[in-house]
Structure 1
């Protein structure tokens, strides 16, 4: 039991340290070092390790702690692609929803004062395209997800819809990072993942829903209108 507890504390510390300005600990080098330390334990106590990682990742997303990319890479290296896809997909969506709720009910005034200049564009997007707008923002990784979480909390979008759209919209980006994470031992920096080619591909992917919406409106509904609601 003591061994489980010590390993569990180690896993949590890897994430929580960032919340107190120790961001330098979540680096590719440290992730690779922790991979060597933790792999054997995870093979023997998979469920315990997965649960601890899941809770820690929720905290990263909920508190907008820097370093989520490295934490995601580490998941794939430790748990494999498919297990980590389930863990990260659900944990990131739950954490994002907690941040969304904190903005809506606890931090409304702070978010309004800090990011109010960007709120107008978000409101217009939601009014014009409903949850489709959120889905598109999730597909394009050049937008900071923490800001989307906070600003969406000030819009009329329902919590359940925010969660479901976020989970679906973040899935492609999650898969890309996890796929890279399976090769963690060969990765030396994040620049190999967040390359212009990858970002360009995701930008095109983000345009796909708009193209699909336009085509479907032409085929089934006739010419689309600027105020069409897809939510």
Structure 2
């Protein structure tokens, strides 16, 4: 029985171990493959395949995007640009956001099944500062989830893993991810939709567009709106961390 429990415990870590291994290998081998230059060089073939097999192009694109996100492979930004380039702002943004959410959910489940549940349970059973931090996180989960999605400085894979470690429910994670990445997803999809002209000029896309005032300020406004419940609770004498 003890051996079976030990094997079961080891088995729980296999998904996250597989993700880490694939992510490491991908970072070493795919960095030059999933790039803007690769998209530029293969744009005509991609457009031809889309025009001849639209449904298959959508499925292949979304499957590739899911794999990139689920295994934290390099090229997520290029994938988003590709979605806009091939399918336009709409439905390209829908394909991008949906695939990103599915991939994020996969790595979230792997992390939670591996050790997220145990870590969350230990935090609940702990005392003192750790317990107060966990209680504060539980009380403000929606706000925190939207904040980590909206703030451009938070890496996407970090925003996928942290919720698994603090016991966020699956549907809450899925909804906050899908809704929270809409602003950034639409911005980068729109950049991808304009790549035809960028290619003709022989230039590179402006990926810093999200930090332009006309885009960054509305994002910061959404961040402030997401943080508002936390601020209100603090002003009303809510729990201190």
Whether TM exceeds 0.5 here: the answer is yes
| Selected match of 2:87 from 62, 74, 79 | 79
**Structure 2: any 5+ residue segments left out of the alignment?**
1-24, 121-129
TM-score by length of 2: 0.71
Q: Are residues 1:157 and 2:168 paired?
A: yes
Of 19-28 and 171-180, more deviation after overlay is shown by 19-28
**In 2: Cα distance, 1:156 partner to 1:226 partner:** 21
Of 26-35 and 164-173, more deviation after overlay is shown by 26-35
Distance apart, 1:81 and its partner CA: 1.3
Q: CA RMSD in A?
A: 3.1
**In 2: Cα distance, 1:122 partner to 1:54 partner:** 37
1:2-52 CA distance string (max 9 Å, x none)? xxxxxxxxxxxxxxx946622112222211222211102211210011001
Higher alpha-carbon Rg: 2
TM-score by length of 1: 0.74
Aligned residues: 197
SS in 2 for 1:177: helix
Segments ≥4 residues shifted beyond 6 Å = none
Aligned 8 A contact 1:129 1:227 in 2: no
Map of 2:208 onto structure 1: 194
| Selected match of 1:127 from 131, 138, 163 | 138
**In 1: Cα distance, 2:56 partner to 2:95 partner:** 13
Distance apart, 1:124 and its partner CA: 6.8
Aligned 8 A contact 2:30 2:74 in 1: no
| Selected match of 1:63 from 57, 71, 96 | 71
